[in-house]
C-alpha cells in the first residue's frame, strides 16, 4: 500500500459520500459546520476544547459560532470557572437542525447500499471496521456466531489447507472433513447439536462443532483457528462454548478425536478438562500418526 493508493481511495470515497460539496447533504451547512454541531450535541463545552478537539483555526471557529448564534442554533455564556472563557451549547433549534441532517444522512447511505447484496454489505462493513481498527491501533476483537450460508464450504476448505500446510496431510483428510460436515447437515438435531464460527473483522477465522455421539455423549469436532487469529484466545473460547452447550442440553460426557502432533489443540483440550483415554498408531492422510481419544465428564447445569 502506497501513499498514492491511500490518497486515491480518499478521493474516491469523499466523492461517493459528497463531503467535498460546498453544502453538506444539500443543507445550508458545510461539512465542518456539521462537525461543530455534532460535537456540541454531546453537551456544552468550552470553545477552546471545541477548537482543539476539531483541530480548527480560532478565527474560523469564531465565524462558525457567530453564524450559529445569529441563527439561534447555539447558546453562549461565560465559563463558571473562568469568565474569560466561553461555554457553548446547542439550542432546541440547533438540535432540530442536526436531527434533520441525521435523517438526510441515513437516507443517503440507505440509497447507496440499496443495490448492494447482503453478503457484500457484510464485507463492506467488515472492511470499514478493519480500516478503523488498524488506523487507531485498537486491539483485535473476535465474536462467535452460528453457521450461515457458505460457512460449511469454508470449514472444509480451511481444514484442508491448514492441515496440508502445517502437518503435510493429503487430500484424504479434506475428504474426511467433508464427510463430517455432510453428516452434520444430513442428521442435524438442532436441540442437541450446534456449530460456531469465530470472526475477526467480519471474516471467519475459526470453527467448532458439537455433535451427538450417543444419548449420553457429545462429540467435539472440527476445531480450527487460523494462524492469523491465534493468540486471541479463540480456541479456548470455542471449546468452552462447545462444552457449555453440551452440558446445557443434557449430555453427561464429551469426547473428541485428535492426533498426537497437534500440540496447540491438545493444550487447549487439556486446559478445558479433557484427558486422553486411548491412543492408536496408524497410517492416515498420507502419514504415520497416533490417533488419540480424549474425554471429559460433564456436570449438571
DSSP 3-state of 41: helix
Residue 168: how many CB atoms within 10 A of its CB? Answer: 12
CATH 1.10.10.10 holds for 3-115: yes
At 300 the pLDDT is 63
Does the structure show a pLDDT above 80 at 1? no
Question: 211: pLDDT confidence band, cut at 50, 70 and 90?
Answer: very high
Host H or E run for residue 247: helix 234-248
Question: 122: pLDDT confidence band, cut at 50, 70 and 90?
Answer: confident
CATH code given to domain 142-297: 3.40.630.30
Rg (C-alpha) for the chain, rounded Å, is: 28
Over range 52-66, report the average pLDDT.
Answer: 90
Residue 254: how many CB atoms within 10 A of its CB? Answer: 25
At 255 the pLDDT is 98
pLDDT averaged over every residue in the chain: 90
Does the structure show a pLDDT above 80 at 113? yes
Does the structure show a pLDDT above 80 at 13? no
**For 16-25, 75-84, 252-261, 263-272, which range has the lowest pLDDT when averaged over its residues?**
16-25
DSSP 3-state of 42: coil
pLDDT digits (tens, 9 = 90+) for 229-255: 999 999 999 999 999 999 999 999 999
Question: 24: pLDDT confidence band, cut at 50, 70 and 90?
Answer: low
CB 36 within 8 A of CB 50: yes
pLDDT digits (tens, 9 = 90+) for 26-45: 788 888 898 899 899 888 88
Does the structure show a pLDDT above 80 at 202? yes
At 175 the pLDDT is 97
Measured CA to CA, the distance from residue 206 to residue 73 in angstroms comes to: 51
Question: 134: pLDDT confidence band, cut at 50, 70 and 90?
Answer: confident
Q: Do domains 3-115 and 142-297 have the same CATH topology?
A: no
pTM of the model: 0.68
At 27 the pLDDT is 80
Domain spans in the chain, listed from the N-terminal domain onward: 3-115, 142-297
pLDDT digits (tens, 9 = 90+) for 65-96: 999 999 999 999 888 887 778 899 899 999 99
Does the structure show a pLDDT above 90 at 129? no
At 219 the pLDDT is 98
Measured CA to CA, the distance from residue 250 to residue 116 in angstroms comes to: 43
Q: Which residue has the cell 473460547?
A: 237
At 21 the pLDDT is 58
pLDDT digits (tens, 9 = 90+) for 159-173: 999 999 999 999 999
Amino acid at each position: 500500500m502506497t501513499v498514492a493508493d491511500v490518497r486515491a481511495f480518499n478521493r474516491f470515497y469523499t466523492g461517493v459520500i459528497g463531503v467535498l460539496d460546498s453544502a453538506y447533504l444539500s443543507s445550508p451547512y458545510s461539512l465542518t459546520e456539521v462537525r461543530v454541531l455534532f460535537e456540541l450535541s454531546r453537551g456544552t463545552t468550552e470553545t477552546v476544547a471545541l477548537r482543539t478537539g476539531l483541530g480548527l483555526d480560532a478565527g474560523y471557529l469564531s465565524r462558525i459560532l457567530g453564524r450559529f448564534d445569529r441563527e439561534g442554533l447555539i447558546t453562549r455564556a461565560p465559563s463558571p470557572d473562568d469568565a474569560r472563557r466561553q461555554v457553548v451549547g446547542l439550542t432546541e433549534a440547533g438540535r432540530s437542525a442536526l436531527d434533520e441532517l441525521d435523517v438526510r444522512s441515513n437516507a443517503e447511505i440507505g440509497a447507496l447500499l440499496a443495490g448492494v447484496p447482503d453478503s457484500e454489505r457484510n464485507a463492506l462493513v467488515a472492511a470499514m471496521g478493519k480500516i478503523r481498527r488498524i488506523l487507531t491501533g485498537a486491539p483485535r476483537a473476535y465474536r462467535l456466531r452460528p453457521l450461515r450460508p457458505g460457512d460449511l464450504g469454508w470449514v472444509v476448505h480451511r481444514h484442508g489447507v491448514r492441515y496440508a500446510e502445517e502437518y503435510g496431510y493429503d487430500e484424504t483428510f479434506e475428504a474426511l472433513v467433508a464427510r463430517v460436515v455432510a453428516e452434520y447437515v444430513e442428521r442435524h438435531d438442532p436441540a442437541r447439536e450446534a456449530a460456531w464460527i469465530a470472526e475477526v473483522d467480519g471474516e471467519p477465522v475459526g470453527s467448532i462443532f458439537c455433535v451427538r455421539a450417543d444419548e449420553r455423549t457429545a462429540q467435539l469436532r472440527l476445531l480450527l483457528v487460523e494462524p492469523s487469529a491465534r493468540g486471541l484466545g479463540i480456541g479456548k473460547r470455542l471449546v468452552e462454548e462447545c462444552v457449555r452447550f453440551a452440558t446445557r442440553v443434557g449430555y453427561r460426557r464429551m469426547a473428541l478425536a485428535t492426533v498426537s502432533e497437534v500440540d496447540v489443540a491438545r493444550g487447549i483440550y487439556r486446559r478445558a478438562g479433557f484427558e486422553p483415554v486411548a491412543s492408536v498408531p496408524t497410517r492416515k492422510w498420507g502419514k504415520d500418526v497416533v490417533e488419540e481419544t480424549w474425554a471429559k465428564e460433564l456436570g449438571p447445569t
